[in-house]
Structure 1
Amino acid sequence: MNRGRAGSIAWLALVALALPPPAEAARFWRWKDGQGTTIYGDRPPADPAADARSGTFRRPPGDPVVLHVRDRGSHYEITAFNSAPGPVQVQLDLARADNVRPVPALPASQVVPAGGSVVVARIYPVDPRLPNAFEANMLQLPGDPRARPLDFEYRVPFDYGRVRVDQGFGGRFSHSDAQNFYAIDFALPEGTPVLAARGGTVMQVESDFQRAGLDREHYGGRANFIRILHEDGSMALYAHLKPEGVEVRVGQQVRQGQRIALSGNTGYSTAPHLHFAVQANGGMRLEAIPFRMFGALGELKFAREDPAPPR
């Protein structure tokens, strides 16, 4: 039986400022100038006499939102910059707060528009006469929780014909969580052309993952996939694609029925298949939503194994 999981495929990624260096870490330096103003830079100061201290922040590949910290004299300003072609919600928190007061109180979330930036927080010293330090953690998730998905007639995401559904709504193998409850696993031979079930903007792609298996620690949430943002703010996920099988790029506009990829067997999967779901941002939480899908003979009726999605 072909079944798989793609629920954790999202930008639910942690970005940390001033933490010990993890993989894919970038380095920054902090020092004071002649007037005592703290300076941040991506290179050490030219003056060798400056007392520069370095730190790192994690910037995982593919994450569209990065944090910038600016010293405004009276406070530090933390800004989130989004390079994605769609909105991304971020949540900021402080892992360390020595003699500082964040405004607003943290944790706090903001929606960063496509290609835009938002000041997420300002960090003020409690006592300016004393040293201060902080560490900021950020989570990011695609989509805008204010979006209201509309009823839409999705087409089957491959050429019409007979196909087996190996796991439907509420499937106990891997469709029991909120991100996957309303997902469908279509049993497709590897290399089958995948078509856009609905038009939209390509928001995220992954095509370099090579392996498949049932070890959750190694393969859970890992797969080649495409995420397409629709005009109503919902997002379609096409997962377990063939290595190098993605045929679209981030930011590309695609139309319904357009070829976008080749099906495969990557990530947490037992055999070749296409995992399809429509998701929405429920507030720093991806949630699969019900959808209607049509083929050559009309609307498809998917069986539901569990009675209701998780809360």
Structure 2
Amino acid sequence: MKISLFIFVLLSLCSLNAVGKKLYKFQDEQGIFHFTDNPAEAARNKDQQKLEVRQLKVAPKQLVWLLQSGEERHPQYYIRNDYAGPVEVEINFSERDNVKATPELPGRFVVEPGKSDTLFQINALNEQESWRLALKYRYIIGSPLSHYSSKASYLPPIAPNAAFQISQAFGGSFSHNDEQNKYAVDIMMPVGTPVYASRSGIVLEAEDDFYNGGTNKVYTSEANNIRILHDDGSMAIYAHLELEKAQVHPGMAVAAGQLIGYSGNTGFSTGPHLHFAVQINQGMELVSVPFTFIDQQGQAVEPKVHVWLKGIAPSRMGNAVE
């Protein structure tokens, strides 16, 4: 039997983590220049002359894999999910000749962290003839929520008694006109301002290796961000954060009001600010949903453009945050 097997990887937007490195250059006592990407080696030579540090371009890191097991003539497939939370995966043939899948493809599967059970098996329609196939898949972070309704309100993601102005709110004309950002807010604040979790949950992503920012569209996917999964399946995204200042890591449990990072100006941005949104997986797409902040009187209020957002202590939130 002749088998030709090809697997193509198609990854959906916002489903990649990033890994960044530095290039260290130093000059030894003989005047010879050395280059390394090993931080330990750079630390050992930190007292050498003219130690220079250059941030290297961030490389994407894949966290969801379609893998094969079983017999070559009857391959089985499963997903390895390296996120700290669930993902939804859509799998289909991109090419097929004399093969069938059991259960049939296309199919969508919700996969918790780790390795899934076998999702499907491939068999030849006619065992006496050659067969070939190519598979494609894409994934989106989070469990599917087709009818989401939240009763939660959120702490302002800033220090108690601090105040910063909202420069863009729901439906903002500059950059809040797609489904992922329709119900987002931009909060003006200087680079290095502490950012706090607005609601408790589990950290899914903590990207802090991007170092560029500006209004060029090439920076759209280069905003440092932290994504936190809540117990109702929604996710808060905190974006445009400062380079290498994340205070949390994937898989870490955080409480509402906990320091998670510092504001920056990375990614597609007109100036230093924090981008905050609550998103869900709906139909294999990340979409933002309306939310309310808790004000200093303990009331739930919808964020409005030009309004000054004031931080409150977690002890004053009562039962407003789930």
| TM-score tier after normalising by the smaller chain length | 0.7 to 0.9
Provide TM-score, normalisation by structure 1. Answer: 0.75
* Alignment partners' CA distance in 1, 2:127 and 2:270: 59
8 Å CA contact 1:239, 1:276 repeated in 2: yes
The residue that corresponds to 1:63 in the other structure is 62
The residue that corresponds to 2:139 in the other structure is 140
The residue that corresponds to 1:197 in the other structure is 198
Aligned CA distance change for structure 1 residues 262 and 175 (closer, same or farther; 3 Å): same
* Alignment partners' CA distance in 1, 2:149 and 2:121: 33
Matches within 5 A, 1:7-26: 10-11=14-15
CA positional deviation for 1:295? 3.4
The residue that corresponds to 1:90 in the other structure is 89
Identity %: 39
CA positional deviation for 1:163? 1.3
* Alignment partners' CA distance in 1, 2:109 and 2:16: 14
The Cα offsets for residues 25-61 of structure 1, whole Å up to 9 and x where unpaired, read as: xxxxxxxxxxxxxxxxxxxxxxxxxxxxxxxxxxx84
Moved over 6 A (4+): none
Aligned CA distance change for structure 1 residues 263 and 9 (closer, same or farther; 3 Å): farther
8 Å CA contact 1:12, 1:140 repeated in 2: no
Matches within 5 A, 1:71-150: 71-72=70-71, 75-146=74-145, 148-150=148-150
CA positional deviation for 1:157? 0.1
Supply the RMSD in Å over aligned alpha carbons.
Answer: 2.1
Matches within 5 A, 1:1-311: 10-11=14-15, 61-72=60-71, 75-146=74-145, 148-159=148-159, 160-216=161-217, 218-297=218-297, 298-303=299-304
Q: What amino acid does structure 2 have at the position aligned with 1:242?
A: E
8 Å CA contact 1:78, 1:122 repeated in 2: yes
8 Å CA contact 1:109, 1:120 repeated in 2: no
CA positional deviation for 1:76? 1.5
Greater shift after overlay, 229-238 or 92-101? 92-101
The Cα offsets for residues 148-178 of structure 1, whole Å up to 9 and x where unpaired, read as: 4531121000113321111110112111111
Paired residues in the alignment total: 250
8 Å CA contact 2:170, 2:185 repeated in 1: yes
User: Which runs of no fewer than 5 residues in structure 2 stay unpaired?
Assistant: 1-11, 18-58, 306-322
Aligned CA distance change for structure 1 residues 12 and 123 (closer, same or farther; 3 Å): farther
CA positional deviation for 1:281? 0.8
Aligned CA distance change for structure 1 residues 189 and 180 (closer, same or farther; 3 Å): same
8 Å CA contact 1:212, 1:265 repeated in 2: yes
CA positional deviation for 1:74? 5.0
Q: Which has the higher contact order (CA 8 A, sep 6+)?
A: 1
Q: What amino acid does structure 1 have at the position aligned with 2:135?
A: A
CA positional deviation for 1:146? 4.1
SS state at 2:154 partner: strand
**Which structure: larger Rg?**
2
CA positional deviation for 1:258? 0.3
Aligned CA distance change for structure 1 residues 296 and 80 (closer, same or farther; 3 Å): same
Provide TM-score, normalisation by structure 2. Answer: 0.72
